[in-house]
């Protein structure tokens, strides 16, 4: 997930919904927010966990679990879904010696991480190696503390792949160029596009003097007390966020309590019903209206148009405020004065990442404790052997290496080890149709029965599996199984059923258009430095320029939008979508005859459009509506059926739309299982190997620690 990268009124161009500010080193605000919600709104969650973990025959149950877990022929945990939440759950369990099985309905792993490769793609041909694009997640902030577990996972599985002579499957990161001073933007039928470096004081034809609807007082140049020139309208979001930044700096609890007071507001509602002109402070002008007035519809529309997508301000105000701190992690956390954005992406496509995870899961022996420890040291999750934090992973391409202000990491040497035998744990074309709790399973320990449809050579057969525990990682829409006689889940609690039904998901649209010439690179004169993202108010909204393939003659441009813009693009036929994208690209490049350089409409060869994934049953990622953080987030984390069923996935996290959200939720689900079973040694090994990810029920700030 990402938002539009142009932030008007600032010399530095960066992706911002609200002004970004460093609250604590490396953006730890997300973990604190998750913990704070549980502390203040998680009574049902806390009480349920305590009840589930306080069993009369605790010793007997622990013995039963460990006997099952220690038997390689009896998988202890069934995992539904082969996306990152499912794969990560499996890799953790594998590293702890606990057997599991992963069931994926499709013929590929990765879930909403998927790379489109043109049928002409050839990684060994310089003119064809860039013919791909990311349908799903396409980048991660490089230095954010909250995001580091994604790089940790890659390094950990790479260690296993190396031991097994599978170097051709290693996960490598290349630099992702998110923005630049020369990326283009154009709005409201401007005579011509302009570059981002020229946009800070440009009203972009929104003013009434240009046929727009913004009064001139908002877009007339002013000077602040330091002599800096600005447009008042571009200072609004800074002032909206200011009070929350100040409160959070004083105290996480105070700041989140203040935010929580507005959890029932959408971003739009807050701007037009809560925020007053008086709060603009030095940027207020009486010509704007009375100090007690709220922002007008037109001002809110301007802010949404330039900072998000059409309709995105309908989501939770808290969601929009907190989301910006994910982007703060795009900065160099080791150098507070470095203004640059640092992101990475999968070399030759993100699809290689989940494929590598699957390769490791299908080995008998997986990630060792030393592998995980070394990986944590290499990326600064923990201090290195010299007692200091550093960053020097060994899987970066040249352009992705850290700047000189980032200290190198000193880590323990890699573990040699021996190649492992194959042990299949990931099962493709296995569609789960029904999950039922059985309290009598495993000699009264209890467990879950899973019914599956297995497709093989066009034939379908029904099978049943039984496990003491199940982790289900599907997007919430996928729990509608479409079966005539059975539901996916039966007898879920009222709270869980409501949370699954109500959790808000955001629509997304992507398209990949191939051109015979890279006109964007030539005109931008950026080449290997990358161009970033071009933006406009057309429905296609973003043009994401490739961060690779500059040596080729041609290349692929990616179009990306969300919310209502995505819904409208997605409602058309495939060819109509491509046509709209071509018009949007021509709008940003009027000097280019787009028809002449377009490689032609040939689906899966020169073009690809995507609106939603059938296996996700709807939109692309979670983005909570007003009130849902306080009311639904703890419920989504609460295990069902006396602790035997856990849900996971980015929706069950505070990192909506990011891979790390899936990882956090999986880590939490495995932690719940281990605590429920009293597996103390495995809990200790979990943290040593995988680090201390966000697990709300073991937060150090808890007034009542769970055991």
Q: Do residues 112 and 691 touch, judged by C-beta distance below 8 A?
A: no
What is d(CA 200, CA 60) in angstroms, rounded to the nearest whole number? Answer: 67
Question: Encoding tokens for residue 197?
Answer: 């470096």
Average pLDDT, 10 consecutive residues per value, the chain (707 residues)? 45 33 49 85 91 72 65 85 98 96 96 96 94 94 91 98 96 90 92 92 95 96 93 94 84 85 95 97 96 98 93 92 69 88 93 98 97 97 96 94 95 91 97 95 92 93 96 94 87 95 94 95 60 91 90 93 94 97 96 97 97 81 94 95 96 92 96 91 95 65 37
What is d(CA 543, CA 581) in angstroms, rounded to the nearest whole number? Answer: 9
What is d(CA 508, CA 618) in angstroms, rounded to the nearest whole number? Answer: 10
Instruction: Return the ∠ at Cα 14 (arms to 206 and 507), rounded to 5°.
Output: 75
- Looking at 3.90.660.10, 3.30.70.1400, 3.40.50.450, 3.40.50.300, the CATH number of the domain 508-610 comes to 3.90.660.10
Secondary structure (3-state) at 72: coil
Q: What is the DSSP letter of 196?
A: G
Cβ-based neighbours of 104, under 8 Å, separated by 6 or more:
81, 82, 86, 426, 427, 428, 429, 430
Question: Encoding tokens for residue 623?
Answer: 């983005």
Q: Do residues 106 and 429 touch, judged by C-beta distance below 8 A?
A: yes
CA contacts within 13 A on the Cβ side of 529: 11
Backbone phi, then psi, for 608, in 5-degree steps? Answer: -155, 130
Check residue 174 and give left, alpha or beta (phi > 0: left; psi -120 to 50: alpha): beta
Cβ-based neighbours of 647, under 8 Å, separated by 6 or more:
471, 472, 473, 496, 500, 636, 637, 640, 665, 669
The predicted pLDDT at position 180 comes to: 85
Instruction: Return the ∠ at Cα 523 (arms to 522 and 527), rounded to 5°.
Output: 45
Please name every residue paired with 461 in a beta bridge, in sequence order, or none if there are none. Answer: 454
Domain(s) of CATH 3.90.660.10: residues in the chain: 508-610
Instruction: Return the ∠ at Cα 703 (arms to 697 and 707), rounded to 5°.
Output: 45
What is the CB neighbour count within 10 angstroms for residue 657? 22
E strand or H helix at 680 = helix 680-690
What is the number of H-type helices and E-type strands within the chain?
21, 24
Cβ-based neighbours of 438, under 8 Å, separated by 6 or more:
446, 447, 448, 449, 466
Which of 109, 148, 162 lies closest to 358 in space, CA to CA? 109
Instruction: Return the ∠ at Cα 218 (arms to 212 and 222), rounded to 5°.
Output: 135
Question: Encoding tokens for residue 19?
Answer: 């002004």
Give the CA distances from residue 47 to residues 54, 58, 146, 592, in Å, rounded to whole numbers and listed in that order.
Answer: 11, 18, 28, 63
What is d(CA 153, CA 80) in angstroms, rounded to the nearest whole number? Answer: 20
Q: Do residues 457 and 435 touch, judged by C-beta distance below 8 A?
A: no
Question: Encoding tokens for residue 36?
Answer: 């704070």
What size, in residues, is the chain?
Answer: 707
Q: What is the end-to-end Cα distance of the chain in Å, rounded?
A: 35
Which of 375, 366, 381, 368 lies closest to 412 in space, CA to CA? 375
The predicted pLDDT at position 248 comes to: 81
Question: Encoding tokens for residue 22?
Answer: 């460093």
Domain(s) of CATH 3.50.50.60: residues in the chain: 42-107+428-505+618-698
Please name every residue paired with 133 in a beta bridge, in sequence order, or none if there are none. Answer: 116
The predicted pLDDT at position 29 comes to: 74
Which of 197, 167, 171 lies closest to 184 in space, CA to CA? 197
Instruction: Return the ∠ at Cα 510 (arms to 524 and 212), rounded to 5°.
Output: 70
Which of 702, 707, 703, 679 lies closest to 34 in space, CA to CA? 702
pTM of the model: 0.93
The predicted pLDDT at position 87 comes to: 98
Secondary structure (3-state) at 50: helix
Tens of pLDDT, residues 593-637: 999 999 999 999 999 999 987 777 878 999 999 999 999 999 999
What is d(CA 385, CA 383) in angstroms, rounded to the nearest whole number? Answer: 7
E strand or H helix at 584 = helix 574-588
Does the domain at 42-107+428-505+618-698 match CATH 3.40.50.920? Answer given as no
Torsion angle of alpha carbons 592, 595, 596, 597, nearest 10°? 70
What is d(CA 552, CA 249) in angstroms, rounded to the nearest whole number? Answer: 48
Quickly list DSSP for 146-168: TTHHHHHHHHHHHHHHHHTT-GG
The predicted pLDDT at position 610 comes to: 95
């Amino acid at each position: 997930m990402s938002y539009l990268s142009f932030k008007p009124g600032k010399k530095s161009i960066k992706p911002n919904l609200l002004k970004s500010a460093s609250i604590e080193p490396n953006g730890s605000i997300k973990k604190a927010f998750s913990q704070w919600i549980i502390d203040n709104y998680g009574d049902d969650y806390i009480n349920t966990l305590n009840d589930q973990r306080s069993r009369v025959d605790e010793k007997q149950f622990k013995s039963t679990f460990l006997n099952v877990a220690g038997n390689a022929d009896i998988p202890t945990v069934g995992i539904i879904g082969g996306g990152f939440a499912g794969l990560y759950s499996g890799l953790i369990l594998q590293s702890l010696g606990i057997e599991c099985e992963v069931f994926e309905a499709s013929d590929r792993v990765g879930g909403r991480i998927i790379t489109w490769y043109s049928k002409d793609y050839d990684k060994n041909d310089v003119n064809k190696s860039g013919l791909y694009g990311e349908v799903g997640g396409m980048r991660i902030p490089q230095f954010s503390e909250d995001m580091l577990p994604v790089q940790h996972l890659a390094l950990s599985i790479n260690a296993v792949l190396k031991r097994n002579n599978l170097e051709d499957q290693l996960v490598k990161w290349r630099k992702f160029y998110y923005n630049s001073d020369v990326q283009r933007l154009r709005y409201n039928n401007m005579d011509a596009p302009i570059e981002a470096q020229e946009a800070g004081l440009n009203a972009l034809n929104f003013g009434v003097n240009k046929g727009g609807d913004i009064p001139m007082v908002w877009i007339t140049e002013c000077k602040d007390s330091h002599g800096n020139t600005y447009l008042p309208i571009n200072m609004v979001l800074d002032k909206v966020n200011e009070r929350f930044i100040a409160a959070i700096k004083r105290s996480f609890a105070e700041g989140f309590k203040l935010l929580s007071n507005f959890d029932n507001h959408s971003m739009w509602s807050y701007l037009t019903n809560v925020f007053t002109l008086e709060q603009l402070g030095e940027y207020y002008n009486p010509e704007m209206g009375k100090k007690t007035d709220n922002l007008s519809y037109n001002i809110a529309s301007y802010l949404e148009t330039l900072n998000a997508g059409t309709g995105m301000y309908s989501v939770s105000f808290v969601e929009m405020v907190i989301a910006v701190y994910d982007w703060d992690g795009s900065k160099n956390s080791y150098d507070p004065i470095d203004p640059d954005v640092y992101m990475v992406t999968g070399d030759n496509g993100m699809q290689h990442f989940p494929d590598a995870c699957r390769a490791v899961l299908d080995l008998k022996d997986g990630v060792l404790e030393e592998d995980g420890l070394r990986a944590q040291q290499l990326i600064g999750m923990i201090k290195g052997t010299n007692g200091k934090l550093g960053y020097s992973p060994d899987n970066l391409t040249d352009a992705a290496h850290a700047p000189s202000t980032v200290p190198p990491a000193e880590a323990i040497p890699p573990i040699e080890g021996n190649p492992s035998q194959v042990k299949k744990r990931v099962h493709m074309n296995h569609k789960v149709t029904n999950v039922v709790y059985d309290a009598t399973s495993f000699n009264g320990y209890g467990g879950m029965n899973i019914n599956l449809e297995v497709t093989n050579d066009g034939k379908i057969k029904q099978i049943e599996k039984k496990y003491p525990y199940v982790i289900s990682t599907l997007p919430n829409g996928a729990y509608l199984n479409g079966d005539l006689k059975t539901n996916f889940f039966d007898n879920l609690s009222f709270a869980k059923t409501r949370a699954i039904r109500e959790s808000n998901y955001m629509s997304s649209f992507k398209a990949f258009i191939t051109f015979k010439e890279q006109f964007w690179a030539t005109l931008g004169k950026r080449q290997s430095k990358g161009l970033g993202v071009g933006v406009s108010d057309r429905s296609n909204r973003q043009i994401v320029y490739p961060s690779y393939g500059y040596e080729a003659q041609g290349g692929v441009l990616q179009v990306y939008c969300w919310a209502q813009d995505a819904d409208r693009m997605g409602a058309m036929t495939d060819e109509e979508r491509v046509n709209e994208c071509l018009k949007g690209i021509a709008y940003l490049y009027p000097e280019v005859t787009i028809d002449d350089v377009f490689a032609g409409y040939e689906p899966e060869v020169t073009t690809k459009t995507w609106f939603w994934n059938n296996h996700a049953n709807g939109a692309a990622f979670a983005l909570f509506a007003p009130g849902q953080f306080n009311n639904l987030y703890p419920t989504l984390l609460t295990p069902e059926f006396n602790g035997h069923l856990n849900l996971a996935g980015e929706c069950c996290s505070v990192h909506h739309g990011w891979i790390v959200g899936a990882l956090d939720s999986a880590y939490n689900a495995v932690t719940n299982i281990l605590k429920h079973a009293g597996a103390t040694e495995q809990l200790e090994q979990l943290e040593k190997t995988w680090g201390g990810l966000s697990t709300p029920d073991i937060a150090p700030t808890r007034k009542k620690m769970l055991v």
